[in-house]
């Protein structure tokens, strides 16, 4: 009789122990999965979604640039066009920590690096800022125009702002024209 009681309490203890182990394993598994997810998604996943959106809307610009035409023959997008098509997605709202157009305090410390650096960072991408705003069909000149446009809208004057960058294809140099390298 007493051995039956002992058996029963052993079984109970055993079941509790097994359950606890199973729970522990589940928790560990979940933590592991979570760490895996966190590790694989960079903190700027918001901007990744934006990039995905831009990936989807980019054919408009891609068609325009894929048609090989002699330099200067096609209408070059103005900085404003590029901004409206691509950059606005983040820079109008400050999505993903993008400096907002119109927020001088956000742009001034960046502009202090010099326009060329800003353009270079926008072309190559920096942190949450995807290369060319996620649209590889844009040229460096497009990027520069749109950066100048954003700075202008923010009230920051650049030397380039006074140049007729918008409609005159001054910068459609041979270097910019050859085969899109994407
Ligand atoms: C997917 C969102 C997104 C899009 C689209 C986007 N940007 Fe950005 N951009 C960012 C973010 C985020 C930052 C801030 C990066 C940082 O400094 O951490 C940024 C920063 C910048 C900067 C400042 C770089 C520096 O050196 O401080 C420039 C210039 C810029 N973007 C230009 C552009 C231009 C031009 C376009 C359009 C062709 C564009 N961006 C499109 C998200 C975006």
Q: Say which range, 11-15, 80-84, 167-171, has the weakest mean pLDDT.
A: 167-171
**Mean pLDDT of all residues in 102-128:** 96
Nearest CA to ligand 1 atom 37: 87
Q: Which CATH class is domain 45-162?
A: mainly alpha
Give the C-alpha separation, 154 to 160, whole Å: 15
Question: Can you give the pLDDT at residue 159?
Answer: 80
Asked whether the beta carbons of 89 and 95 are under 8 A apart, the reply is yes
Greater pLDDT, 38 or 145: 145
What's the mean pLDDT in 89-102?
Answer: 95
Closest Cα to residue 147, out of 165, 134, 168?
165
Cα(84) to ligand 1 centroid in Å equals 14
What's the rounded Cα separation, in Å, for the pair 107 and 13?
A: 65
What is the distance in A from the centroid of ligand 1 to the CA of 168?
Answer: 25
Longest CA pairwise span in the chain (Å): 101
Reply yes or no on whether the pLDDT at 124 is more than 60: yes
Going by CA atoms, what residue is nearest to atom 8 of ligand 1?
Answer: 129
Q: Which residue has the higher pLDDT, 34 or 123?
A: 123
Q: Pick from 37, 45, 133: which is nearest to 92 by CA? A: 133
**Measured in angstroms, how far is the CA atom of residue 108 from the centroid of ligand 1?**
14
Ligand 1 contact, 86 CB (< 6 A):
yes
Q: pLDDT: is 153 or 3 the higher one? A: 153
The better pLDDT of the pair 176, 88 is held by 88
Tens of pLDDT along 134-149?
999 999 999 999 999 9
Q: Closest residue (by CA) to atom 3 of ligand 1? A: 90
Q: Give 58 or 44, the one with higher predicted confidence.
A: 58
Nearest residue to 137 (alpha-carbon basis) of 60, 78, 70, 74: 60
| Lowest pLDDT segment from 49-53, 81-85, 97-101, 117-121 | 49-53
Q: Measured from the CA of 126, which atom of ligand 1 is nearest?
A: 15
Q: Using CA atoms, how far apart are residues 95 and 80, in angstroms rounded to an integer?
A: 19
Q: How far is the CA of 39 from the centre of ligand 1 (A)?
A: 23
Residue with the bigger pLDDT between 124 and 43: it is 124
Residue 2, pLDDT score:
59
Comparison of pLDDT for 94 and 171, the residue scoring more? 94
Can you give the pTM of this predicted structure? 0.60
Task: Indicate the domain borders of the chain.
Answer: 1-40, 45-162
Q: Which residues of 24-44 are buried (b: 16+ CB within 10 A; e: fewer)?
A: eeeeeeeeeeeeeeeeeeeeb
Structure confidence at residue 9 as a pLDDT band (50, 70, 90): confident
Residues 6+ apart with CB under 8 A from 100: 91, 92, 93, 94, 106
Ligand 1 proximity of 123 Cβ (cutoff 6 Å): no
State the pLDDT at residue 41: 60
């Amino acid at each position: 009789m007493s051995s039956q009681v002992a058996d029963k309490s052993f079984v109970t203890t055993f079941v509790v122990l097994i359950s606890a182990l199973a729970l522990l394993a589940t928790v560990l598994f979940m933590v592991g999965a979570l760490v895996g997810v966190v590790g694989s998604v960079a903190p700027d996943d918001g901007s990744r979604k934006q990039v995905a959106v831009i990936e989807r809307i980019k054919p408009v610009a891609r068609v325009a640039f894929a048609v090989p035409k002699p330099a200067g023959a096609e209408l070059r997008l103005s900085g404003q066009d590029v901004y409206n098509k691509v950059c606005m997605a983040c820079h109008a709202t400050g999505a993903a920590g993008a400096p907002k157009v119109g927020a001088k305090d956000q742009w001034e410390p960046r502009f202090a690096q010099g326009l060329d650096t800003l353009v270079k960072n926008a072309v190559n991408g920096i942190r949450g800022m995807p290369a060319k705003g996620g649209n590889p069909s844009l040229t460096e000149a497009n990027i520069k125009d749109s950066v100048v446009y954003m700075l202008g809208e923010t009230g920051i004057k650049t030397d380039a702002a006074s140049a007729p960058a918008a409609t005159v294809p001054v910068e459609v140099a041979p270097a910019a024209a050859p085969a899109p390298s994407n």
